[in-house]
């Protein structure tokens, strides 16, 4: 059983879910609220987790993709009505992020917006209710990250960032990801790949985070574990390496993300479409890389060279070309139109991408025209 103590305690192994009772005890949680979604329940994963724990667990299994402020408030009510004393977040980024937001509101006075990055609210985030995060997708890495994203009642997609939002314990059991369908394995895996790439390229100085990101890139692309996880879903080694790469992606993005995430965040604000974060990143990524490769200066080229080395591709080859080919191999939707975006969405996507926190850590500061061109090409 690997115990990786980096930003938190990460218990990582096939069968690690057996450690849940010990984790609850070590955080002093006697009455947890387990937060998950219907897909996890229907796949039988919820039952598996409940049978691993001995305590009385209150279950909320209605988390929606792209969680909202309204649902966060609903969770806080359930938490308080049942006198809960901690959260178990079971699922992908949506379940873990909403548990973080609810853990924050359960312990702090005031409206959620006050704590968001838009109002520089991170400084108001103190200790929150304890969370044990159990990822069931290999993509977001939210189980080890400082961030949570929630769609606010105002329609904006708000991010909350604080070291206090890192779940104190993450239980990473690759066997829990075996039932993830191929299209979600591909999309969430490409999210992890994008985290690693954008983190390495971000201009912040943090060589340890870059080394972790490069290791994730090698695992996903050069060692071909993402392809194998998609096409050999029961390959336990592939699931292990993809969950590790996902965790690595989030450890790496402490140094920032980039324009691809700015576009993905901005597009997933459109409530009527409820688009998947990973699929958006996968579609935008090669187009964003194409612009970066054209505009790269010497420092960025040095990083692109390290990325190519980690991917195992020739120095003369473009990373964007390799990512286009990877998307095709993984059956990622070929363009934005296929998932419902239209030319009429371009203005608002560009407007909010320019305001997104990930925009400012892109290796090149994109302007409105860069984003517009990328959106229309990806359409």
Interacting residue ranges for Zn ion, rule: CB under 5 A: 191
Q: Which tokens belong to 313? A: 């591709």
Q: Which tokens belong to 377? A: 């090409």
Minimum distance between the CB of residue 4 and Zn ion, rounded to whole angstroms?
A: 21
Residue number, 97 or 191, with CB nearest to Zn ion: 191
Element of type H or E holding 10: strand 9-12
Q: Which tokens belong to 34? A: 């387990």
Residue number, 34 or 358, with CB nearest to Zn ion: 358
Minimum distance between the CB of residue 139 and Zn ion, rounded to whole angstroms?
A: 7
Q: Name the one residue in this structure whose structure tokens are 């724990």.
A: 53
Is the distance from CB of 9 to CB of 3 less than 8 angstroms? yes
Residue number, 88 or 192, with CB nearest to Zn ion: 192
Residue number, 19 or 188, with CB nearest to Zn ion: 188
Minimum distance between the CB of residue 188 and Zn ion, rounded to whole angstroms?
A: 9
What angle do helix axes 207-217 and 298-311 make, rounded to 10 degrees? 40
Minimum distance between the CB of residue 337 and Zn ion, rounded to whole angstroms?
A: 22
Residue number, 284 or 366, with CB nearest to Zn ion: 284
Residue number, 191 or 210, with CB nearest to Zn ion: 191
Minimum distance between the CB of residue 113 and Zn ion, rounded to whole angstroms?
A: 22
Minimum distance between the CB of residue 319 and Zn ion, rounded to whole angstroms?
A: 18
Phi, psi of 83 (to 5 degrees): 50, 45
Non-local (6+) Cβ contacts of 8 within 8 A are 144, 166, 167, 168, 169, 170
Residue of 255, 11, 265, 276 lying closest to 133 (CA atoms)? 11
Checking DSSP bridges between strand 9-12 and strand 2-5, what pairing results, if any? antiparallel
Residue number, 280 or 304, with CB nearest to Zn ion: 280
Checking DSSP bridges between strand 58-60 and strand 147-151, what pairing results, if any? unpaired
Residue number, 111 or 215, with CB nearest to Zn ion: 215
Minimum distance between the CB of residue 378 and Zn ion, rounded to whole angstroms?
A: 17
Is the distance from CB of 132 to CB of 87 less than 8 angstroms? yes
Minimum distance between the CB of residue 39 and Zn ion, rounded to whole angstroms?
A: 19
Residue number, 9 or 137, with CB nearest to Zn ion: 137
Q: Name the one residue in this structure whose structure tokens are 């059956």.
A: 331
Minimum distance between the CB of residue 191 and Zn ion, rounded to whole angstroms?
A: 4
Q: How far apart are CA 222 and CA 216, in angstroms?
A: 10
Phi, psi of 171 (to 5 degrees): -105, 110
Non-local (6+) Cβ contacts of 344 within 8 A are none
DSSP character string of 85-104 = -EEEEEESHHHHHHHHHHHH
Residue nearest to Zn ion (CB): 191
Q: How far apart are CA 211 and CA 1, in angstroms?
A: 23
């Amino acid at each position: 059983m690997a115990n990786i103590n980096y930003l938190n305690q990460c218990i990582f192994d096939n069968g690690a879910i057996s450690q849940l009772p010990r984790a609850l005890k070590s955080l002093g949680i006697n009455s947890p609220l387990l937060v998950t979604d219907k897909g996890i329940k229907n796949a039988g994963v919820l039952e598996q987790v409940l049978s691993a724990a001995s305590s009385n667990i209150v279950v909320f299994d209605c988390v929606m993709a792209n969680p909202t402020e309204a649902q966060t408030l609903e969770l806080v009510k359930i938490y308080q009505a049942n006198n809960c004393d901690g959260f178990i977040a079971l699922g992908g980024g949506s379940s873990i992020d909403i548990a973080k937001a609810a853990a924050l509101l359960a312990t702090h006075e005031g409206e959620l917006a006050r704590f968001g990055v838009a109002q520089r609210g991170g400084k108001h985030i103190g200790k929150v209710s304890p969370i044990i995060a159990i990822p069931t997708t290999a993509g977001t890495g939210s189980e080890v990250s400082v961030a949570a994203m929630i769609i606010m009642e105002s329609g904006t997609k708000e991010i909350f960032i604080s070291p206090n939002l890192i779940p104190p314990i993450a239980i990473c059991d690759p066997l829990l990801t075996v039932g993830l369908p191929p299209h979600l394995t591909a999309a969430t895996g490409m999210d992890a790949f994008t985290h690693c790439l954008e983190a390495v390229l971000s201009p912040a100085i943090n060589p340890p985070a870059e080394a972790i990101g490069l290791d994730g890139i090698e695992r996903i692309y050069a060692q071909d574990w993402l392809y194998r996880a998609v096409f050999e879903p029961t390959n336990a080694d592939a699931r292990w390496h993809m969950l590790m790469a996902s965790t690595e992606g989030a450890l790496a993005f402490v140094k920032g993300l980039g324009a691809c995430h700015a576009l993905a965040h901005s597009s997933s604000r459109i409530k009527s479409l409820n688009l998947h974060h990973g699929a958006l990143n996968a579609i935008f990524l090669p187009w964003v890389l194409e612009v970066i490769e054209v505009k790269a200066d010497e420092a960025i080229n040095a990083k692109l060279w390290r990325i190519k080395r980690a991917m195992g591709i020739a120095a003369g080859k473009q990373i964007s070309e390799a990512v286009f080919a990877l998307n095709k191999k993984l059956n990622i939707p070929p363009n934005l139109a296929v998932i419902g975006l239209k030319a009429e969405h371009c203005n608002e996507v560009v407007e909010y991408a320019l305001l997104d926190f990930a925009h400012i850590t892109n290796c090149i500061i994109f302007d409105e025209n860069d984003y517009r061109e990328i959106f229309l090409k990806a359409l």
